[in-house]
Amino acid sequence: MPAITATAAVQTVITTFETSPGQCADLLDELQAAYAEFIAKQPGFVSAALHVNDAQTRIANYSQWRRREDFQAMLRSDEMRVRNRRIATLCRSFEPVLYDVAATYGS
């Protein structure tokens, strides 16, 4: 499970996907398959979560990796390049962005 803390020694990646209500379920299926069959098995993978907005026009993906290089290696793999081409047909755009956690709040 993702643990969001400013002291965690992980690389955070947040990816947003712009889609349509008619393609949201298909995109979510494709993303879930990518995690179950490939991404979660890659070196350096820690955890991930998928979020869908109420209008089903956006999916946000929060993932954690041990190192930036682990995430980049996964993205550059032949398997992920093929999957990303399929994902791209189900959304208007998607963009992974690497972050460092600056602060957290809550109990």
SS3 content of the chain, % helix, strand, coil (to 5): 40, 30, 35
Instruction: In whole angstroms, give the CA distance from residue 39 to residue 26.
Output: 18
Q: Residue 1: CB partners within 8 Å, gap ≥ 6?
A: 47
What pLDDT is stored for residue 12 in this prediction? Answer: 94
Q: What is the pLDDT of residues 48-86, one digit of tens each?
A: 999 999 999 999 999 999 999 999 999 999 999 999 999
What pLDDT is stored for residue 6 in this prediction? Answer: 72
Residue 36 reports pLDDT greater than 70: yes
Instruction: In whole angstroms, give the CA distance from residue 80 to residue 86.
Output: 10
Does domain 11-99 sit in CATH 3.30.70.100? yes
What pLDDT is stored for residue 106 in this prediction? Answer: 82
Beta bridge partners of 51: 60
pLDDT band at residue 8 under the 50/70/90 scheme: confident
Ranges of each domain in the chain: 11-99
To 10 degrees, what angle do helices 21-37 and 78-89 make? 170
